[in-house]
Amino acid sequence: MLWQLKIPHKVQIFIWKAYLNWIPTTANLSKKGMEVDDMCAGCHRKSETTLHAIWNCPNLRRVRFSIPFVHNQSWNDMASAFDFLLFQENILDKKEMELMCVILWRCWWRRNQMIHNAGVRSEEDVVEWAANFLEEFHKTEEKNSEKNIANGPMIKNIVRWERPREGVFKINTDAAICSDRNLVGFGIVIRNHNGEVMGCSSQSTVANFTPQIPEACAILWGIMFAKDTGLLPTVIESDAKTVVDLINAEAPPRADIGTVISDIINLCSFYDIRVLFTPRGANMVAHNLAKVPSIVEDRFCLEDYPPFLESFVRADMAL
């Protein structure tokens, strides 16, 4: 039933991982040998299993009571997320299951925001947010479907993003200049061999650079992002061919960009990272992230991405 639901692909992937108990809860990380406290960081009462993180935690009591079609279901802490989700599939209709999946995904998102001190609004109504999010997603999908029908079949040689080999992450970076506001936007996305977004970032700064410097900075920050999050080994792609050529020449110019290029070369040598050129058509996720900071606040996400990227991520994963 999961893959027939009309929900964002990232939500489907999350629920699928929950079924398999692949969500990186503290209890799961501890079982894998990592030295972490397996207690839930939200309630500090019980081990953070997958089911506890997305349903049983006392901090989610308001959420449970707000879902009319489940009537505050009570589950034993010894139960598995697989049993819980399978039960929901058996008792809920398709629309209710779609909403339930988005609610559970949002609960996990809020948990991650709390852990990373990203300022979660405690008063947010998760169920109402999920219902609005799902409604907007369905409207967007409907519009896209109508547009495709109106345009009719098109035959093009479309250049698309390619997945890295298994065990390697791929970073795509881009920069965008808003000259009339002296703003520069940076977009970074890291994906695994399945095309799943492991992390993304978009930020902006007030500056008046030549185009090559922001592109080089985006690559540098992409490497730092991967290093800080442990998403290595990795390969980097950018649609700034001049900058990529400068990096691969391993001879930094003396201009302002030279310092940034030199830092990139040193990091690539240390972490064995390759920097490759890719056409704009294969870099659309990072490109659209770079355009956002001119109108919204800086973003930083792990295992998540802004809703407006859904169609671009899904298009890349379809290949």
Which tokens is 206 given? 């007030």
Q: State residue 258's pLDDT score.
A: 87
User: In which residue are the tokens 């500090």 written?
Assistant: 44
Q: State residue 155's pLDDT score.
A: 43
Strands (DSSP E) contained in the chain are 169-178, 183-191, 197-206, 234-238, 274-277, 299-302
Interatomic CA distance for residues 27 and 52, integer angstroms:
10
Q: What is the mean pLDDT of residues 6-21?
A: 89
Q: Write the single-letter amino acid at 110.
A: R
In the predicted structure, residue 3 carries a pLDDT above the cut 60: yes
- Number of Cα atoms under 13 Å in the Cβ half of residue 308: 10
Q: What is the mean pLDDT of residues 56-84?
A: 88
Q: Between these two residues, 283 and 76, which has the higher pLDDT value?
A: 283
In the predicted structure, residue 151 carries a pLDDT above the cut 70: no
Which tokens is 267 given? 């990091």
**Who's near 78: CB < 8 A, 6+ residues apart?**
none
Among 308, 298, 145, which residue's Cα sits nearest to residue 225? 298
Mean of pLDDT over the chain: 86
Q: State residue 295's pLDDT score.
A: 47
Q: At what angle do helices 9-19 and 310-317 cross, to 10 degrees?
A: 60
Interatomic CA distance for residues 218 and 270, integer angstroms:
18
Q: State residue 297's pLDDT score.
A: 66
Q: How confident is the model at residue 118 (pLDDT cuts 50, 70, 90)?
A: low
Q: What is the mean pLDDT of residues 78-102?
A: 93
Query: Is the pTM of the predicted complex or chain greater than 0.75?
Result: no
The 8-class DSSP code of residue 99 comes to H
Q: State residue 289's pLDDT score.
A: 92
Q: How confident is the model at residue 294 (pLDDT cuts 50, 70, 90)?
A: very low
Determine how many CB atoms are found less than 10 A away from the CB of residue 67: 17
Among 278, 265, 186, 273, which residue's Cα sits nearest to residue 231? 273
Interatomic CA distance for residues 233 and 270, integer angstroms:
11
CATH value of 169-317 in 1.10.357.140, 3.30.1330.10, 3.30.200.20, 3.30.420.10: 3.30.420.10
Chain centroid to CA 115: how far?
A: 16
Q: Between these two residues, 34 and 50, which has the higher pLDDT value?
A: 50
Q: Where are the domains of the chain?
A: 2-149, 169-317
Convert the pLDDT of each residue in 160-219 to its tens digit.
899 999 999 999 999 998 877 778 889 999 999 999 999 999 988 877 677 889 999 999
